[in-house]
């Protein structure tokens, strides 16, 4: 029971303790605000996969394997990914204009916001899906950073393999829970910003994308 509670608590805190986690998901959650929960879930599943992989290696090769080697390389790659996400979000907001469409479904009026290129294009747009990207970024986050090592170190302290496995499992569940909670809140906030005007919505996207860019640079050069 201790391993379950400790794992869930450590995983939940771990998400909010790492600004890189929030920065990676924020630009995607803002654009796909109506599917933000799903994005958070996919990031959480990816992160859990990476952590369980790293933790499993740690349990099997406690004395033989250097986790710092894997974590060091992954950390640099996460920095690059954060920079790319930041640049993508800024480009999305700066080079494209947001157009609002008001619809009425079942007597409920609501507004959809779409990105359009400044150059004239046909109204038919190919849908973009960044859910796989969220899962992939989550995996890299699960493999990167010394904070992840500190997160799974308690698993090595358990004498029982069952307790160690339960700790890792609920560490992952805790991260999924926290990221779904964060991305859902961010998606809700983003929708509220849409209702107040497209310029506020655009500034919100630029702000979070800039944060992702800055944190990515910090990760690479520190």
> Is the separation of the CB atoms in 191 and 207 below 8 Å?
no
Please, is 64 exposed, middle or buried when counting C-beta atoms within 10 Å of its C-beta (0-12, 13-18, 19+)? exposed
Nearest CA-CA partner of 23 in 218, 222, 221: 218
In a 3-state reduction of DSSP, which class is residue 128? Answer: coil
Please, is 183 exposed, middle or buried when counting C-beta atoms within 10 Å of its C-beta (0-12, 13-18, 19+)? buried
Digit-by-digit pLDDT tens for the chain (222 residues) are 778 888 888 777 777 666 666 666 777 777 666 677 787 888 888 888 887 787 777 777 755 555 555 556 656 766 776 787 678 778 777 775 555 555 554 555 444 444 444 444 443 344 345 556 777 777 776 776 555 665 666 777 677 778 888 888 888 888 888 888 888 887 777 777 655 556 666 776 687 778 878 878 887 887
pTM of the model: 0.60
Q: How far is CA 62 from the centre of its chain?
A: 29
């Amino acid at each position: 029971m201790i391993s379950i509670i400790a794992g869930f608590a450590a995983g939940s805190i771990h998400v909010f303790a790492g600004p890189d986690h929030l920065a990676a998901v924020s630009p995607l959650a803002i654009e796909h605000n109506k599917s933000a929960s799903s994005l958070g879930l996919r990031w959480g599943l990816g992160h859990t996969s990476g952590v369980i992989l790293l933790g499993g290696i740690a349990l099997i090769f406690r004395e033989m394997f250097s986790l710092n080697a894997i974590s060091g390389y992954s950390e640099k790659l996460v920095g690059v990914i954060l920079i790319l996400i930041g640049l993508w979000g800024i480009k999305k907001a700066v080079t494209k204009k947001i157009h609002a469409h008001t619809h009425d479904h079942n007597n409920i009026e609501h507004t959809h916001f779409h990105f359009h290129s400044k150059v004239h294009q046909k109204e038919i747009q190919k849908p973009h899906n960044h859910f796989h990207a969220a899962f992939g970024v989550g995996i890299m986050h699960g493999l990167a950073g010394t904070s992840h090592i500190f997160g799974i170190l308690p698993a090595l302290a358990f004498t029982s393999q069952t307790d160690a496995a339960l700790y890792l499992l609920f560490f992952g569940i805790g991260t999924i829970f926290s990221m779904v909670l964060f991305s859902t809140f961010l998606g809700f906030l983003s929708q509220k910003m849409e209702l107040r005007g497209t310029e506020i919505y655009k500034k919100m996207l630029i702000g979070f994308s800039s944060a992702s860019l800055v944190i990515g640079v910090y990760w690479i050069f520190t």
